[in-house]
Structure 1
Amino acid sequence: MTMSEEVAGGQEANPAQDKQDIMMQLRLFIEGAKSDKLGSLRVSQIALNLLRNLPSARDAVFEYYAGMLERMVENYNPENPETNATPEEEEIISEVQEALSGYIERNPSSWAPMVSKWSLDTLGKLTQQFGSKMIPKGKADKSGKSSLHERVSCWLGCVASRFLIQISAECLSKQMDDDSKGCIASLLDTSVTHAPYFEWVVAHLGSCFPSIIINRILSLGLMEYSGLSGGKFKRDPESLINLQKVPKLNSVLNILSHLGRNHQNVLQESMHNLFLSSISDDSNSASQSATVPYLLQLAAESSPMARALLSGLVDIVTPQVLVRLETLSPNWNQLYFTKENSLLEIVTNILVSTDSDIPEILLLLLEKGGEGTTPKGEGGKDSDTSKACRMIFNNVLAVLFQQVHGHARHRTDGIPALQSIHANISVFLDLLLSRNQFLRSSSVQLLALVALYKGRSFSIQVLRYLFYNCNTDTELLVVADFLPRVEIFHFNCIPDVISQCLRSRDTKIEIFLSNLLKVVSAENSGKSDIRSSFLTGLRSQQPLLIERLLEPKLAYNVLALVRLSGLNTKLRIPTLHRICHCLVQLYFTTLVNLTMEASLRNKILHLVEVTMSELCDQRFGSQILLRFILEASINSDFSVHLGSKKDANQPPNSIGFGGGDKKTDTAKLFRENLKFGSMPVQPLGSTTVFHSGIIGGGKVPPSRDGDTPAVIGCEETAMELRDHISGLLLRLCRACGNEEEGYKKLALQLVEMVSPDIMYNGIPWPEEEFIKVTMERDLEISRTIENNPILWTLLELLARHKPALSYCSVLVRGVMSVCISHWQSVAASRLLNYPQQIEMTKRVITLMGVGQFIPGHLALVAQVIHILDPAQLNCILVDIWNYMRGNVPGPSSYSICHSTGQVYRNFGTYSDFKPYCDRLRMVMLANLEKVADLFKLYFVESAKKEVLNGQPIPDPTQHINGTS
């Protein structure tokens, strides 16, 4: 084998080419290299031939190509892509790359080291010579530097540098398996020689072989770092090794930072493996002792490296690892972190400067730190590890506090640690309710900082969680710990918390109300240290709170909160309307629920009534409440519990709270009339009622056994419930301030509810013949009162508080007209054949007597009705009607007795109304043996002694067993 073949690494020479041809090509190459007159492409082809066949000329050939590449880089402008290589230069580069790639592929052991050395040396010189121009416009900082990632992009845009880096990668790929450590060391040495410009080369090559490059660079950097531990060389004011002032370590830092952006998983695995290997052995070699400080300083200087170090760190930090770290930490403080707390500060800075797995790491610190604060009786043991974890966490809190509260000009655009915690908040929310004091207080401080960083919505989120999940008074104290930390910045957040909780449909609303009641009670008693007022916030959200009254499980707590907070003095009409509706609904729901615990039932009823009494002070409050109570008593499903019977003439499903179904009936009648092309010629009632049925509703169905009465429970229970309702209405009338005005409102509401028309609703009584005009309305009034016993109770109540009944004159008149019409139509029949009509007649006469519509003489009819026949009764009722027509019982007809304070009506002497009593007196005289005592009292004694004006005539109703 010739010398040429040996140097060529076994490549066969061309037999046809002799030494004379090679020498001629060498002369042409030398002449062409000095001048470009022969053409670069031809010179390049000659150079490639010499590169293969004349080993002694290879240095000259590589030098020629280096010069050509230098001119290409010199002419390249990163801001103008058109300044790149010419077509001829691109063709030359293509031929050279193809030839060198072939040589390396066929004989890598000979060609790869040689070409690699040339390409890297050339890159080193070019990067150092032209590194300052490879900065993209607008990307440099104030010092004129740019990031490594941006420099890589600029260099790869140039054809020459791209060719060199590609051929270097091919060479390295062939050397990795044999001597990866040596080639990486050579690469890093070259980087140090041409630092910092050459770093982009190593960074890009590392992207081609990330696993090997990252591992080797980390190892080489560790060797360099461990060699600096003994002295004070290159240390910063914090007594730490200044990586940026150590060329090799600075290159390691920059290269790994660049690779970490695109190969974080590889960097993470490499750093974790290096970390675990350093603590797996008990020996304290220099490199093992330096590993953790080395990794910490890299992470402190580089965000990508900090992210890689912290990602998944919790998974590998086992109890055994913590024990080993506790053993090694004194050595670190002695060699690498000589200043007090420097290790603590560098760990803190890493944690607050990145967002990678920070919640998991802080949670680990809390758990390990909390182990030392657990009482000894519960297995607590305060180890050095627990103390260290608490110190780290508290220091993190201190740094975060400074960042959150620092002046705006000192704050960055964001705080990565707090941003990460906000995205993983659920874990720390659970710690707020921990039994461990350290975990609880630390979580409060941390979440308070997150709240100040993220804003008031986060504060509301934390408070909502606490109110929904606190089950004990101790846990509820966390609210008093958290709120003062944020309320000065997020003022008025309490109403928002209450509003959001009340609007939500969370199943824990019962716990929220219970906790809110505790907090409000403490504030009301003056025992609360919270600056924000829950009472004020609750009062502003009263409409939402009242809505929760309709949920039985929440009713008591809601009422208690309303009582503590007090009602707003000025409520808008829609709000007042809704509050009254909810209160009435709750009152009736509780009243008819006889299965509820008696004590709770009474408490709820009492609180509702007290709240209603306060609402009576509001404008229109009493009218709305009275209206709703009457609606519920008459037109809702609650009425059957009060003894009401479903009207046979009423269409099915026509009873509902609020009276909305009457409108439905009216609309139905309206549509029925349209079918026949006819419309009412005058305003009528809600329905046009005849004895045979209802227009639009068909005939009245035949009554069946079991249809009536539609009463739930026994009559005694119904009477008891009616007494509750009447008593409530009585007290609400008194709560209006003016008792007489309250009874007037109740009377007018009754008229509006019972009387279907607004015409002829005045106090005066018309002629008897006018009964024919109002018969339809009077039948409806009579039927409604008969089917709803609560109406009799309320009318008798109003009769005892004169002159309130006079406003219900239309109702009394309607029942009276129906009685007259009935007894007139059955004049030839027996009285006892109509027990219901007898009872109604007695009740209306008694009512008129108690209310002093008529004198006591005429009121005797209720007691002597058994001696009358239908014809006689009809005539006497007509006499009463005529008396009422001439003696209208208006409010001005009543006076007040100065001695007793009672309201009465002065009917005058017997002679003033004697004509209206003659028929009754004659009938009683004919049946004197049956009614002698009453006849003597009212007709004999009164004839002997006239009653003076201003003194009431004896009231026969005192002897009547009436109910109120």
Structure 2
Amino acid sequence: MSALCDPPGAASPPRPPLSAQELSQEVKAFLSGLDPAQGTPLSPAAHARCALRLLRCLPPARHAALQHLRGLFDEQVCAHLLQREAPAAAAAAAKASPGAEALQEARRALAELVAANPRAWAPGVAAWASELMGQLSSKYAGRPGVPPAASLNELLQLWMACPATRALLDIYSQCLAAMAGSCPDACVDALLDTSVQHSPHFDWVVAHVGSSFPGTIISRVLSCGLKDFCAHGGGAGGEAAGADKRAPKIASVVGILGHLASRHAGSIKQELLRMFHESLGSPREHHKATVPFLLQLALMSPALLATVSAELVDSLKPPVLNQLHQHFSALPRDELEGVVGVVVHLLCHTSAGALRTLRFLLATAAPASVIAAPGPALHEGVREACERLLQLLLLHLQKLVHGRGSAGPADCPARPVPFLEALRPHVRELCQDALRLERRRRLWQHQLLALLAVHSAPHGAAEALFFLLALARTPEELALAPQLHAGLRAVLPDPLPAAVAAAVAQIHAGRLPEPQLAQLLRNLALLLQPRDADGEPGEPALGAALARHLPDLAQLLLHPRAEVAEAACRLLAACPLPRALPPAHLLPAVRAAVRRFFAGLRLGDAAALAPGVRLLARLSAVSPAAAKAVLAQLVEGALGGRDAELFGGGAAEPDGREAAPPPPANAAAASLLDDNRRFTAGPNAAGGVWSVFHAGVIGRGPKPAGGGGRRGAEELSRNTQTFLSLVLRCCRGSGPAVGAEAAKAVAAALVEAVCPEAAGAELAWPPEELARATVERDLRILRRFRQHPLLFPLLRLVAGGRPALCYCSVLLRGLLAGLVAHWDACRAGSTAASPWHLRASCALVALLAEGSLLPPVLGNMHELFPELAPFEVHLLLLSVWGYLRDNSPLPQKFTFQPELGVFRRDFGRDGDLGKHLAVLHSVLHRNIHRLGLLAARFYP
């Protein structure tokens, strides 16, 4: 380019015009190749200078002169390549060759001519230079040391280092620069013609010129390509599909713009959009062909379409769409169908801006009542055309997806559909759009989701189902997931297990926000709800898939957010449970379900509690082992820990002492000294051993209130009734009565919870001598019964499953011993002074009778207790103790009666009952004036 920067006459001063005689001699010398003076052959350099003189002085000889100069440039290119192949041998020859000087003279001469008269010289010289560069590039393309055409950068470096090709490139660039302000079409047209003939070897010229004149090249290349497209009959529709064969320059246009796209994508995009908008509403013939021309460019170069597609879609506002509709409304039907076919083909095979394009089509094709955006109204024909385009797009995608065939293990994978491939990362957004759109657009979006799921199977199908399940917020939205599943099952293996596995993986990874996680669990539970009175789950396949992940779902019952835990409970309550659960899966699920039940009970909401009750009942029905685990966990939770206060009980430490609750929130503001001053009559002195007993213990705060004082009696009664109903439901299983094995499990849990050190002790009733050694344990048992009012109802439930009450023998002994000791210590008082002990005595004798551990005659004596003195109650309880000592409560004394399905005990085999009734009859006789009406019940 250095020659273009110098003034035209700086390197070669102007020469005077030749005379006619001199001009004749020059012509003869040029044609003959001989020196006129000596008659010897002219050297190549002298011959070239002769051609240059004719070029300056004889315009009609310009074609012949330029044709002769081709040989000079060819010779110099060959010499340059030889020098690269053998640098040492060719360097000296290159210095001695006069061709290099002639080459520079030729470049200067052509530059002077173009600068002096651009309009006359620039088009021809540009065509000559571009054609010569194309011929040289093609001729030496296979030469050793010449890079392949694909290595554009290396090829550009090679030819730019060659003085001959560099000179030709400078000459062409000067011609283009000289004509850029007036009419550069001829220069650009020459570049296109050469590109058609010599591509891809000529691409390095296009790349360099385009980088030097991006604005001029881009606009003029497109303009020349459009003119050639129109000249060769390029039109809309089907003609555009084969226009590249009749309009050869369009391939060069695509190649040139493709080279420039990496560095000048913005300019290309701006020019393409300008051409598009300028063509709308224009009656000119070439403007009518602009849209088909641009479509043809897009067909041949997806990169150009990707460059412009995003802003093109954004620019399609209602005014532009209306103009576009008016532009194509005059076309014949077959041409219009051809244009639509080309657009559908482009959409299917283009990945750039797929999501944005889809949303534009859905929004534009929707009915007018849905889109209420302010601004110019959209022509109804635009909506109809866009709706037809969308339907054809879905139809074409369906053909591509289902026509690919299934690739076997030895086959090549099916070819991807670019449009669907671009939508694969946006499955979540597509599902959101499908759920939020109105009915008509939702149908289209649903069809597209099905195609995308099949295209990207198996993971795509599972992902689509998962997002539909997770994002749906109403029953109407949730119905889309079963619809999609039904369609996919017809063409794919069932994707539901993979969708459930994907959901569990998302939960484990913590990728779902807590509200969305709760919504997903609620949606799954809703799909599992029975559809009819038979109780069959709504989606059996979904239930089977969820049952495989029971341990993972059970962990959600312990989620810190109540909303998630409640939703997980509803899901598991509706989910079918496998009949054979390994203990490693069963026990954690039972523990979590029990904790969820107590959490629901603490909330006091019946609706929130019902799923937990249903879940535990279903878990207990899985197997006898599951029932035992559920009952044990329920009893343990109700009698220990912080949940005991739900039933009026207080938590107890292992040694039997009442455990203090956690310090209150305002513990820092409490003053133990102030509390002691209020409760003691002693001097107000801090410190000392007496200052810690009245109000509490240091570090634990004030003494806790009684367990029943924190909740109302109605609430305690309701909680107890709910708990006992659940335990009874788990004990009964599928039968009407309490099962003996289930009652035995409750008995074992009771012993473990109340007196764990006595678990597994002998069931036989010990004599008084041995009972004296268990006084401390008996007092502890009595204290636990007083702390937990729930123990007596649980023992009555155990008594209903004979002979399970025998396994609570250690508790019954301890409670009876404690009551006997109490009544023995307060003989002179009244039974009304000990209301709890009186109720406990009555309840103990009643449940002993209900569990068939006492005969009916002795079992009815609790009706007398409220009317007797404490010493009389003491004597009667000693009679009970004596009977149980002589007739130990052992399961072997019960026999099963198949006709009734229950265990019975025959008290006639226990020997003489009279000695145990003597005290009872004596007490009756002493109080006959008050108990005479009841006396008949105590005589066998």
Q: Normalised by the shorter chain, which TM-score bucket? A: 0.7 to 0.9
Residue by residue, what CA displacement relative to the aligned partner does 1:328-350 show, whole Å, maximum 9, x if unpaired? Answer: 3255559xxx6673222222222
The alignment's TM-score, normalised by the length of structure 1, stands at 0.73
- Measure the CA separation in 2 of the matches of 1:790 and 1:528: 37
Q: Does 1:217 pair with 2:225?
A: no
Q: 1:800 to 1:569 in 2, by over 3 A?
A: closer
Partner of residue 385 from structure 2, selected from 379, 384, 388: 388
Equivalent residue for 1:446?
Answer: 448
Q: Quote the offset at 1:293 in angstroms.
A: 1.7
Contact 1:517 / 1:560 at 8 angstroms: preserved in 2? Answer: yes
Contact 2:76 / 2:100 at 8 angstroms: preserved in 1? Answer: no
Contact 2:344 / 2:393 at 8 angstroms: preserved in 1? Answer: yes
Code of the residue aligned with 1:507 in structure 2: it is P
Equivalent residue for 2:585?
Answer: 575
- Measure the CA separation in 2 of the matches of 1:137 and 1:47: 28
Q: 1:711 to 1:397 in 2, by over 3 A?
A: same
Identity, in percent, stands at: 20
Partner of residue 405 from structure 1, selected from 388, 395, 402: 402
- Measure the CA separation in 2 of the matches of 1:526 and 1:148: 73
Q: Quote the offset at 1:452 in angstroms.
A: 2.2
Q: 1:83 to 1:797 in 2, by over 3 A?
A: farther
- Measure the CA separation in 2 of the matches of 1:360 and 1:922: 99
- Measure the CA separation in 1 of the matches of 2:536 and 2:132: 75
| 1:601-612 matches, cutoff 5 A | 604-605=609-610, 608-609=613-614, 612=617
Contact 1:849 / 1:855 at 8 angstroms: preserved in 2? Answer: yes
Q: 1:456 to 1:523 in 2, by over 3 A?
A: farther
- Structure 1 unaligned spans of 5+: 1-6, 16-25, 35-41, 657-691, 693-697, 943-952, 954-964
Contact 1:260 / 1:267 at 8 angstroms: preserved in 2? Answer: yes
Q: Does 1:807 pair with 2:810?
A: no
Partner of residue 631 from structure 1, selected from 609, 625, 636: 636
Equivalent residue for 2:366?
Answer: 370
Contact 1:806 / 1:890 at 8 angstroms: preserved in 2? Answer: yes
The range that moved more, 806-815 or 840-849, is 840-849
Equivalent residue for 1:778?
Answer: 778
| 1:143-158 matches, cutoff 5 A | 149=152, 156=159
Q: Quote the offset at 1:217 in angstroms.
A: 1.2
| 1:261-660 matches, cutoff 5 A | 261-281=262-282, 284-329=283-328, 333=332, 341-371=337-367, 383-407=380-404, 413-425=415-427, 428-433=430-435, 436-501=438-503, 503=507, 504-521=512-529, 533-546=541-554, 553=563, 565-594=575-604, 596=605, 600=607, 604-605=609-610, 608-609=613-614, 612=617, 615-647=620-652
Q: 1:482 to 1:883 in 2, by over 3 A?
A: closer
Contact 1:75 / 1:84 at 8 angstroms: preserved in 2? Answer: no
Q: 1:310 to 1:148 in 2, by over 3 A?
A: farther
The range that moved more, 746-755 or 451-460, is 451-460
Q: 1:55 to 1:906 in 2, by over 3 A?
A: closer
- Measure the CA separation in 2 of the matches of 1:525 and 1:192: 78
Q: Quote the offset at 1:269 in angstroms.
A: 1.1
Contact 2:855 / 2:907 at 8 angstroms: preserved in 1? Answer: yes
- Measure the CA separation in 2 of the matches of 1:416 and 1:104: 50
Q: Quote the offset at 1:211 in angstroms.
A: 1.5
Q: Secondary structure of 1:533's match?
A: helix
- Measure the CA separation in 1 of the matches of 2:461 and 2:89: 58
- Measure the CA separation in 2 of the matches of 1:98 and 1:650: 113
- Measure the CA separation in 1 of the matches of 2:307 and 2:588: 59
Q: Quote the offset at 1:312 in angstroms.
A: 1.1
- Measure the CA separation in 2 of the matches of 1:94 and 1:548: 86
Q: Quote the offset at 1:791 in angstroms.
A: 0.7
Q: Secondary structure of 1:761's match?
A: coil
Q: Quote the offset at 1:794 in angstroms.
A: 1.8
Q: Quote the offset at 1:841 in angstroms.
A: 4.8
Residue by residue, what CA displacement relative to the aligned partner does 1:194-214 show, whole Å, maximum 9, x if unpaired? Answer: 544545423431122211111
Aligned length: 851
Q: Quote the offset at 1:935 in angstroms.
A: 9.8
Residue by residue, what CA displacement relative to the aligned partner does 1:479-514 show, whole Å, maximum 9, x if unpaired? Answer: 354334433454332234345446344413454455
- Alignment RMSD, CA only? 5.4
Code of the residue aligned with 1:893 in structure 2: it is K
Code of the residue aligned with 2:454 in structure 1: it is L
Q: Quote the offset at 1:267 in angstroms.
A: 1.3
- Measure the CA separation in 1 of the matches of 2:232 and 2:331: 13
Partner of residue 159 from structure 1, selected from 143, 156, 162: 162
Q: Secondary structure of 1:912's match?
A: coil
Q: Quote the offset at 1:789 in angstroms.
A: 1.0
The range that moved more, 211-220 or 49-58, is 49-58
| 1:87-126 matches, cutoff 5 A | 89=94, 109-110=115-116, 121=128, 124-125=131-132
- Structure 2 unaligned spans of 5+: 1-6, 16-25, 35-42, 406-410, 663-689, 691-695
Q: Quote the offset at 1:466 in angstroms.
A: 2.8
Q: Does 1:226 pair with 2:230?
A: yes
Equivalent residue for 1:260?
Answer: 261
Equivalent residue for 2:687?
Answer: none
- Measure the CA separation in 2 of the matches of 1:350 and 1:181: 32
Code of the residue aligned with 1:279 in structure 2: it is L
Partner of residue 729 from structure 1, selected from 727, 730, 745: 727
Q: 1:905 to 1:417 in 2, by over 3 A?
A: closer
Equivalent residue for 2:710?
Answer: 712
Q: Quote the offset at 1:220 in angstroms.
A: 1.6
Code of the residue aligned with 1:251 in structure 2: it is S
Q: Quote the offset at 1:167 in angstroms.
A: 2.7
Equivalent residue for 1:888?
Answer: 888
Code of the residue aligned with 1:453 in structure 2: it is H
Contact 2:131 / 2:194 at 8 angstroms: preserved in 1? Answer: yes
Q: Quote the offset at 1:739 in angstroms.
A: 2.1
Q: Secondary structure of 2:289's match?
A: helix
Q: Quote the offset at 1:722 in angstroms.
A: 2.5
Q: Quote the offset at 1:447 in angstroms.
A: 2.4
Q: 1:589 to 1:46 in 2, by over 3 A?
A: same
Q: Secondary structure of 2:280's match?
A: helix
Q: Quote the offset at 1:642 in angstroms.
A: 1.1
Code of the residue aligned with 1:277 in structure 2: it is E
Contact 1:897 / 1:903 at 8 angstroms: preserved in 2? Answer: yes
Q: Secondary structure of 2:351's match?
A: coil
Q: 1:700 to 1:177 in 2, by over 3 A?
A: closer
Q: 1:527 to 1:606 in 2, by over 3 A?
A: closer
Q: 1:110 to 1:460 in 2, by over 3 A?
A: same
- Measure the CA separation in 2 of the matches of 1:749 and 1:715: 26
Q: 1:449 to 1:208 in 2, by over 3 A?
A: farther
- Measure the CA separation in 1 of the matches of 2:853 and 2:536: 60
Code of the residue aligned with 2:299 in structure 1: it is A
- Measure the CA separation in 2 of the matches of 1:804 and 1:848: 11
- Measure the CA separation in 2 of the matches of 1:529 and 1:395: 39
- Measure the CA separation in 2 of the matches of 1:647 and 1:527: 43
Equivalent residue for 1:134?
Answer: 141
Q: 1:410 to 1:389 in 2, by over 3 A?
A: farther
Contact 2:522 / 2:568 at 8 angstroms: preserved in 1? Answer: no
Contact 1:72 / 1:84 at 8 angstroms: preserved in 2? Answer: no
- Measure the CA separation in 1 of the matches of 2:543 and 2:625: 25
Q: Does 1:741 pair with 2:748?
A: no
Contact 2:138 / 2:198 at 8 angstroms: preserved in 1? Answer: no
Q: Quote the offset at 1:755 in angstroms.
A: 1.9
Q: Does 1:752 pair with 2:716?
A: no
Equivalent residue for 2:174?
Answer: 171
Q: Quote the offset at 1:95 in angstroms.
A: 9.0
- Measure the CA separation in 2 of the matches of 1:782 and 1:81: 113
Code of the residue aligned with 2:338 in structure 1: it is S
Code of the residue aligned with 2:747 in structure 1: it is A
Q: 1:177 to 1:759 in 2, by over 3 A?
A: closer
Contact 2:279 / 2:287 at 8 angstroms: preserved in 1? Answer: yes
The range that moved more, 741-750 or 94-103, is 94-103
- Measure the CA separation in 1 of the matches of 2:934 and 2:699: 47
